[in-house]
Amino acid sequence: MRGTSLALAAVTAIPATALSPWRRAASDITVDLTKTYQTMDGFGCSFAFQRANLITNMSDKTKQRQLLDLLFNTTTGAGLSIVRNGIGSSPDSSSDHMNTFAPKNPGGPKAAPQDTWDGKDSGQLFVSQEAYKTYGVRTIYGDAWSAPGYMKSNGNENNGGTLCGVSGTNCQSGDWRQAYADYLVRYVKYYADAGVPVTHIGFLNEPEFAASYASMSSNGAQAADMVKVLSSTLNAANLSSQVGIACCESEGWGNQVNMLNAIKSAGAESLLKTVTSHTYTGGSSGPMNTKLPVWLSEQCDLNGQWTTSWYGSGGAGEGLTWANNIYSAVVNTQVSGYLYWEGVQWPDPNTNEKMIKVAKSAPYDYEVSKRLWAFANWSRFVRPGAVRVGSSGGSGVKSAAFKNVDGSIAVVVISTGGSASAVNIKVAGVTPTVASAWVTDATHNCAAANVTVADGAVAGNVAARSITTFFITSQAGAAI
Ligand SMILES: *[C@@H]1O[C@H](CO)[C@@H](O)[C@H](O)[C@H]1NC(C)=O
Ligand SMILES: *[C@@H]1O[C@H](CO)[C@@H](O)[C@H](O)[C@H]1NC(C)=O
Ligand SMILES: *[C@@H]1O[C@H](CO)[C@@H](O)[C@H](O)[C@H]1NC(C)=O
Ligand SMILES: *[C@@H]1O[C@H](CO)[C@@H](O)[C@H](O)[C@H]1NC(C)=O
Ligand SMILES: *[C@@H]1O[C@H](CO)[C@@H](O)[C@H](O)[C@H]1NC(C)=O
């Protein structure tokens, strides 16, 4: 049990006579450990497009540590458990380009590649090493927005273009599928040599959008072609127990449903480890039709001006909005992973596409949005491997419950209106003996809150417009 590490915030069972007044009027939330849903991979964000350099290049090591703690520390920060990196395709590092480690066309798909691995990977290697070694993050995802330009039908990393060799292409330069798969495997090896086992590899990003920056077009049949080659290449390299394929990072949920259907038709669904989708051009109307884990692998508020507000008008960048966005994805769409777009970004543009805004130069001032603290209420307590279980009831609140691998039970409760609610959490067949509660609202950032453990239940208050996580770290009675 992990109760000891939380001793300060936890309370043990007390006599019923000592109950706080609000407990008596509480509504019951019932957790049912026998009703199980998806297994969680975790919560995370990306460091692509040189955003990682904001942390990696920082000469002020105290602030650098503060930023890493804010993102990954499970007692003082968000406790994120997934890192999504961009695999570069750019020939240079100007602007926010992610440079590729194979900028030079070796002369054809069968020619020996000429790598120039720089040991930095646009700052992402250092952040990944810290996440892995210092903070124990075990899900490291490398995703390519594009293959290097010479592997593509348009000869350029930008403006779409397809990978030469997939169905429907007829490039003079030949079939680059195997060369691209080998390239992605070499990326995995460079990270492994630097002490970071990559667990997920992606070869597309928003394949229906021919962006003016790194982008590669693909329909589902073309994706399936590449999945088959990449899968057998990972097998041949004996890497398939470490790393699996994530696909396809579509712009919207409906796009990804189409991609997955085509991959199924091509008999390649079982070659995937994870299905990934964004929701920029369309959200989900329910779980995706697959037994594979599904991640909402990129979301953010691209339009609003930077805000650190928890709740004002329900705006797209506010913290409570993101607490609810995560709830909807985890409970209604049954995702196993949820990733914000960027963890950090410089002030220009002054939007909410990052969770932390960091100045590019000394004194490296930074501002933390409440979106990060909304993630904290989930990610710190709903750890990788947790199984979502049944939860119902409660008045003026909605809830989601999880059983962690270590046996602890996290119940995430969000108030649905403007008033506080007293709740009484009961876990069928289980008698909680140690629990804590953690609140984020306008004035608290995942702060310890009062909780009472008595009469076989955990009682506490869910403040108005808050997310409050009840964390049962020790219990008597039945386990799953
Ligand atoms: C970080 O340093 C690299 C060189 O290692 C440089 O290319 C890049 O522009 C720097 N980025 C920032 C944001 O300081
Ligand atoms: C997280 O922060 C706490 C408090 O500052 C610190 O004691 C702990 O070492 C940090 N955890 C890691 C893994 O660095
Ligand atoms: C993969 O493992 C097999 C069996 O252990 C071995 O024969 C083969 O050489 C390995 N291949 C690579 C590329 O490491
Ligand atoms: C959880 O969210 C609340 C806001 O409702 C915040 O005050 C609290 O600090 C968050 N808890 C954690 C552990 O981040
Ligand atoms: C916990 O309860 C005590 C006594 O009722 C109160 O003074 C304190 O402010 C409460 N703490 C929190 C974090 O709500």
Quick one: tokens of 376? 């904290």
Q: What is the mean pLDDT of the chain?
A: 93
Pocket of ligand 4 (CB under 6 A): 373, 376-377, 380, 438-441, 444-447, 466-467
Q: Which listed ligand is nearest to 443 at the C-alpha? A: 4
Q: How far apart are the CA of 308 and the centre of ligand 5, in A?
A: 25
What atom in ligand 5 is closest to the CA of residue 450? 1
Chain centroid to Cα 173, Å, comes to: 37
Does ligand 3 have an atom closer than 6 angstroms to the CB of 238?
Answer: yes
Distance between CA atoms of residues 114 and 106, nearest Å? 6
Q: Summarize pLDDT for 238-287 with one digit per residue, the tens.
A: 999 999 999 999 999 999 999 999 999 999 999 999 999 999 999 998 99
Q: Report pTM.
A: 0.91
13 touches ligand 3 (CB under 6 Å): no
Pocket test for ligand 3, best of 238, 240, 241 (most atoms within 8 A of CB): 238
Q: 106-153 pLDDT, tens per residue?
A: 999 999 999 999 999 999 999 999 999 999 999 999 999 999 999 999
User: CA-to-CA distance for 129 and 349, rounded, in angstroms?
Assistant: 28
Q: Ligand 4 atom 13: the closest Cα is on which residue?
A: 446
Q: Does the CB atom of residue 57 touch ligand 1 within 6 A?
A: yes
User: How many angstroms separate the CA atoms of 364 and 357, rounded?
Assistant: 10
pLDDT at site 477: 63
Q: Is 134 in the pocket of ligand 2 (CB under 6 A)?
A: yes
CB atoms within 10 A of CB 273: 19
Q: Which atom of ligand 4 is nearest to the CA of 469?
A: 1
Q: Does residue 299 have a pLDDT over 90? A: yes
**CB contact at 8 A, 368 and 71:** no
- Distance CA(380)–CA(471), nearest Å, equals 10
Among all bound ligands, the one having the nearest atom to the CA of 19 is 5
CB 59 within 8 A of CB 362: yes
Q: Which ligand is nearest to the CA of 237?
A: 3
> First and final CA of the chain: distance in angstroms?
15
Compute the distance from residue 450 Cα to the ligand 5 centre, in Å. Answer: 6
Give the bridge partners for 301, in sequence order: 352
- What pLDDT score was predicted for residue 475? 82
Tell how far the Cα of 433 is from the centroid of ligand 2, in angstroms. 26
Ligand 5 pocket by Cβ (under 6 Å)? 449-450
Distance 448 CA to ligand 5 centre (A): 10
How big is the CA angle at 268 (ends 113 and 252), to the nearest 5 degrees?
Answer: 90
pLDDT at 12 over 70: no
CA distances from 350 to 50, 302, 305, 346, 462 (A): 17, 10, 6, 8, 32
CA–centroid distance, residue 436 to ligand 5 (Å): 13
Domain 42-379 matching CATH 3.20.20.80: the answer reads yes
> Is 363 exposed, middle or buried, given 0-12, 13-18 or 19+ CB atoms closer than 10 A?
exposed
pLDDT at 155 over 80: yes
Share of the chain above pLDDT 70, in %: 94
Average pLDDT of the residues in 362-386: 97
Distance in angstroms (rounded) separating the CA atoms of residues 188 and 201 = 8
Classify burial at 400, counting beta carbons within 10 Å of its beta carbon; exposed 0-12, middle 13-18, buried 19 or more: buried
Fold of 11-38+387-477: Immunoglobulin-like (2.60.40)
Provide the percentage of residues in the chain whose pLDDT is more than 90: 91
Task: Return all residues near 348 (Cβ < 8 A) that are at least 6 apart.
Answer: none
Q: Per-residue pLDDT tens for 399-424?
A: 999 999 999 999 999 999 899 999 99
The Cα 17–Cα 350 span in angstroms is 53
pLDDT digits (tens, 9 = 90+) for 313-347: 999 999 999 999 999 999 999 999 999 999 999 99
Which residue lies with its CA nearest to atom 4 of ligand 2?
76
Q: Is the pLDDT of residue 18 over 50?
A: no
pLDDT, position 8? 34
- Burial 215-237, CB ≥16 within 10 A → b, else e: bbbbbbbbbbbbbbbbbebbeeb
Delimit the domains of the chain by residue range: 11-38+387-477, 42-379
pLDDT at 476: 79
The band of 3, judged by pLDDT with boundaries at 50, 70 and 90, is very low
Q: In sequence order, what are the residues at sequence separation of 6 or more whose Cβ sits closer than 8 angstroms to the Cβ of residue 139? A: 41, 42, 44, 81, 82, 83, 199, 200, 337, 384
Read off the pLDDT band of 223 (50, 70, 90): very high
